[in-house]
Amino acid sequence: MTTVRRSPAPVQVSAQAPAQVRVDAERPDVDVAVLGGGCSGLSLAFRLAGTAVSVRIVEPRESYVADRVWSFWRTRPDPFEDCVIGRWARWSASARGRHIVRSSQTLSYESVSSGLFYRKCVARIDAVPNVRLDLGRRVRSVRPGPTGFRVETDAGGFCARHVVDTRPLETSPSYAQTFIGYEIETAGDVFDAETVELMSFDTPFGDHIPFTYVLPFARDRALIEATVFGPPGLCPDDVRMRLDSAVRTRLRHKEHRVLREEAGSIPMDGTHSRPAERGMLPLGVRGGAARPSTGYAFARIQETADMAADALLSGSPAAAADLDGPVTRHMDRLFLKVLQRHPRRAPDLFADMFEHAPPDRLERFLSGSTTLADRLATVAALPPGLFIKTALGR
């Protein structure tokens, strides 16, 4: 077996050269400052590109690389459907000898390439005069002023009427989804290209719940990820060891090469989302776009970007979007409390949901649906006694 690991090639972008910035507290330099040019910041800027709203994005990375894919069930349109690199109508979950396959006639599970997404956003920004992307720049401070905000960066300062903050929070969550993945190309057919392996559970260890996730882009190419639910701080070498084991199990010593690697940690405890701070709008994961109980974020980022863009275009200060509401947040907190107190029950709980929830209802709920029917269908698939005892603190 030969293994060749290549670093992802940089996505070529053109960042405008820093210009001398006029500082005038009474007349902001731009309408909107976007702190962070990741998925949420670029999604908002894409929607505002070519409008009368002036935008300046401050992003610390020097360039964009194709560093990950974002996956979700398609429940609504968005501007990035041409960046989809995989689409499936069938998905599976496995736990303790149970193997459940679900499918849909109306929903598709889709994956968006970050590389294509970045290229599309940067090309759009470069083509319009009202959006400026400052790469390789860090925000030093943000101070409210008479008519907006003063944003200080390591390359100087400027004033903005509104600030949208998409930066990750400095605080660590109490519970997270940690993952490492390889996109692999094999010398022969290995994967079932028609079915996404959403969750194949291993035996929980300590407070942690491990499983394998496989996105089959073709019979000879797939993204294989080792994922762990649990408290943060898990040693990356432990996750990588599980990933290497999953690769060996699925490839059965077939010759292969690793095209790229991705890794990350998604907060799941709900404490990462924050209300508007000093009038700034939190967006993306900072604004609660990652569903706490699942970690799915891309579709919710697009929904909140639509809402924020509409508010800014109307001239109204954008308010933080509440996609979930108190009932859904309570359900997410209770489910996570069950996982934290009973990690060894987790594989069966997920298998129960995938096996007993009616078609499409579970998928819509995992995607962010707050309809009563989708909620009740998901709850009915789970053992009530365990959740009642947990809710009562037993």
Asked whether residue 83 is assigned to any structural domain, the reply reads no
Residues 344-353 pLDDT 10s: 999 999 999 9
Q: How far apart are CA 227 and CA 209, in angstroms?
A: 8
Asked whether residue 2 is assigned to any structural domain, the reply reads no
Phi and psi based region of residue 361 (left: phi greater than 0; alpha: psi -120 to 50; beta: remaining): alpha
Domains in the chain: how many in total?
3
Model pLDDT, residue 317: 66
Asked whether residue 97 is assigned to any structural domain, the reply reads no
Residues 49-91 pLDDT 10s: 999 999 999 999 999 999 999 999 999 999 999 999 999 999 9
Q: In whole numbers, what is the pLDDT of the chain averaged over residues?
A: 89
Q: How far apart are CA 4 and CA 113, in angstroms?
A: 21
Boundary (domain end) residue, out of 234, 266, 298: 266
Q: What is the CATH number of the domain that holds 226?
A: 3.30.9.10
Model pLDDT, residue 315: 81
| Same-domain check for residues 116 and 145 | yes
**The pLDDT of residue 13 is above 70:** no
Best CA proximity match to 25, nearest among 132, 149, 139, 142 = 149
Q: What is the CATH number of the domain that holds 116?
A: 3.50.50.60
Asked whether residue 133 is assigned to any structural domain, the reply reads yes
Model pLDDT, residue 274: 52
**The pLDDT of residue 135 is above 80:** yes
Bigger pLDDT: 369 vs 276: 369
| Same-domain check for residues 146 and 280 | yes
| Residue 193, number of CB atoms within 10 A of its CB | 16
User: In the predicted model, what is the mean pLDDT of residues 103-130?
Assistant: 98
Model pLDDT, residue 1: 39
Question: Taking the mean position of all CA atoms in its chain, how far away is CA 138?
Answer: 22
Asked whether residue 103 is assigned to any structural domain, the reply reads no
Query: By residue range, what is the domain housing residue 369?
Result: 325-391
Q: Which two tokens stand for residue 277?
A: 């701070």
| Same-domain check for residues 27 and 166 | yes
| Same-domain check for residues 256 and 282 | no
Model pLDDT, residue 291: 80
**Residue with the two structure tokens 């090309």:** 123
Model pLDDT, residue 278: 64
Asked whether residue 76 is assigned to any structural domain, the reply reads no
Boundary (domain end) residue, out of 258, 283, 313: 313
Bigger pLDDT: 20 vs 196: 196
**The pLDDT of residue 12 is above 50:** no
Residues 141-185 pLDDT 10s: 999 988 899 999 999 999 999 999 999 877 788 899 999 999 999
Helix crossing, 346-356 with 325-341: angle to 10°? 130
% of the chain surpassing 90 pLDDT: 72
Residue 367 — pLDDT band, cuts 50, 70, 90? confident
| Same-domain check for residues 140 and 16 | yes
CB 374, CB 364: distance < 8 Å:
yes
| Same-domain check for residues 31 and 129 | yes
**The pLDDT of residue 10 is above 90:** no
| Same-domain check for residues 369 and 334 | yes
| Same-domain check for residues 237 and 372 | no
Q: How far apart are CA 380 and CA 193, in angstroms?
A: 31
**The pLDDT of residue 115 is above 50:** yes
**The pLDDT of residue 2 is above 60:** no
| Same-domain check for residues 61 and 163 | yes
Instruction: Please tell me the pTM assigned to this model.
Output: 0.89
| Same-domain check for residues 197 and 250 | yes
